[in-house]
């Protein structure tokens, strides 16, 4: 079963390897590993998502939907945009 959890500095080597294998940029990851999440399967890091971009746009994670994705079965994060309350009462 795949699980999703907040990344820790101990996950950094696995994250760098995973990104490198996919030819994705790694610059700045060490400085922002606390904004990343990792997907683990049988104890190994098999995926990741970094929320730095989303946080800079005022999105925050508010929930996790277990087994949202079917193949492979993975959880999904539900994000909410901060500050939308100001727009709710406009007509």
Kindly report, residue by residue over 1-45, the tens digit of the pLDDT: 788 888 999 999 999 998 888 777 788 888 888 888 888 888 899
Greatest C-alpha distance within the chain = 51
pLDDT of residue 67: 81
pLDDT of residue 11: 93
Per-residue confidence at 54, pLDDT binned at 50, 70, 90? low
HEC sequence for 10-63: HHHHHHHHHHHHCCCCCCCCCCCHHHEEEEEECCEEEEEEECHHHHHCCEEEEE
Q: Which domain holds residue 28?
A: 2-88
Burial 10-36 (b: 16+ CB within 10 A, else e): ebeebbeebbeeeeeeeeebeeebebb
How many folded domains does the chain comprise? 1
pLDDT of residue 9: 93
């Amino acid at each position: 079963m795949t699980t999703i959890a907040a990344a820790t500095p101990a996950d950094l080597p696995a994250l760098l390897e995973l990104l490198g294998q996919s030819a994705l940029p790694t610059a700045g990851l060490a400085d922002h590993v606390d904004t990343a999440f990792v997907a683990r399967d049988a104890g190994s890091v098999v995926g990741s998502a970094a929320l730095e971009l989303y946080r800079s746009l005022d999105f925050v994670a508010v929930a996790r939907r277990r087994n949202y994705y079917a193949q492979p079965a993975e959880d999904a994060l539900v994000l909410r945009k901060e500050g939308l309350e100001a727009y709710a009462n406009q007509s």
